[in-house]
């Protein structure tokens, strides 16, 4: 790749990031009730450029939320999967306490009945994020820290879905609550250290 192409690519990415950041600002302020024209005005980028990259408002919102998640909720990988799951859940909880994070999830729920495309966007976004968390659960199972046969997706959903619901209801979880939730889920999925063999009958 020549230097001119590299510079052009970097400038192009700066433009895209500016559009996505403007979208996130509008989501934080007004939820889903904004137009592409307003994104263009806020970002200083012509709306034709926006439409060339994102054909629909739903796809633009999806890309903006993905950018937010990549910055605020990076997937940890320390080699200790249970610690990484806890860290990931805490990052999710923290992001949902911020105005943009909370409004993003409320916006998707509110817009679902009016714009079915946003449902597909949300499904794709959650699918990609969930897969990374499920990989951590699978690793913990493989290492014998969680029971074999445990549904890895269900384990992560049991952690993160209550965090989403609390944010939607305007009661985002603090770190203490998030840790307790993770602990409850992991306690139910851990390998039992007690014997399941019935004790011998007591003779009189």
| Per-position pLDDT tens, the chain of length 204 | 444 333 344 478 899 999 999 999 999 998 889 999 999 999 999 999 999 999 999 999 999 999 999 999 999 999 999 999 999 999 999 999 998 999 989 888 888 888 888 989 888 888 989 999 999 999 999 999 999 999 999 999 999 999 999 999 999 999 999 999 999 999 999 987 654 444 445 454
Q: How much is the pLDDT for 116?
A: 86
Nearest CA to 27 among 133, 107, 140?
A: 107
Exposed / middle / buried, residue 51 (Cβ in 10 Å: 0-12, 13-18, 19+) = middle
What are the sequence ranges of the domains in the chain?
Answer: 3-189
Here the tokens at position 185 are: 């889920």
Distance of alpha carbon 144 from the chain centroid: 26
Q: What is the CATH number of domain 3-189?
A: 1.10.357.10
């Amino acid at each position: 790749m020549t230097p001119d192409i590299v510079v052009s690519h970097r400038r192009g990415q700066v433009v895209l990031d500016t559009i996505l950041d403007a979208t996130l600002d509008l989501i934080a302020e007004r939820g889903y009730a904004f137009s592409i024209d307003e994104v263009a005005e806020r970002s200083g980028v012509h709306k034709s450029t926006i439409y060339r990259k994102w054909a629909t408002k739903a796809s633009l919102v999806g890309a903006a939320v993905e950018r937010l998640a990549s910055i605020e909720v990076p997937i940890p990988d320390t080699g200790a999967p249970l610690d990484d799951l806890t860290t990931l859940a805490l990052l999710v909880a923290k992001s949902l306490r911020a105005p943009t994070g909370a409004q993003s999830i409320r916006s998707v729920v509110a817009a679902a009945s009016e714009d079915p495309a946003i449902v597909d966007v949300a499904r794709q976004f959650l699918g990609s994020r969930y897969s990374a968390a499920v990989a951590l659960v699978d690793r913990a199972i493989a290492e014998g820290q969680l029971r074999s046969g445990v549904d890895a997706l269900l384990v992560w959903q049991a952690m993160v879905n209550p965090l989403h619901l609390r944010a939607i209801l305007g009661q985002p979880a603090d770190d203490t609550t998030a840790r307790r939730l993770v602990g409850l889920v992991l306690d139910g999925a851990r390998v039992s250290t007690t014997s399941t063999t019935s004790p011998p009958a007591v003779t009189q």
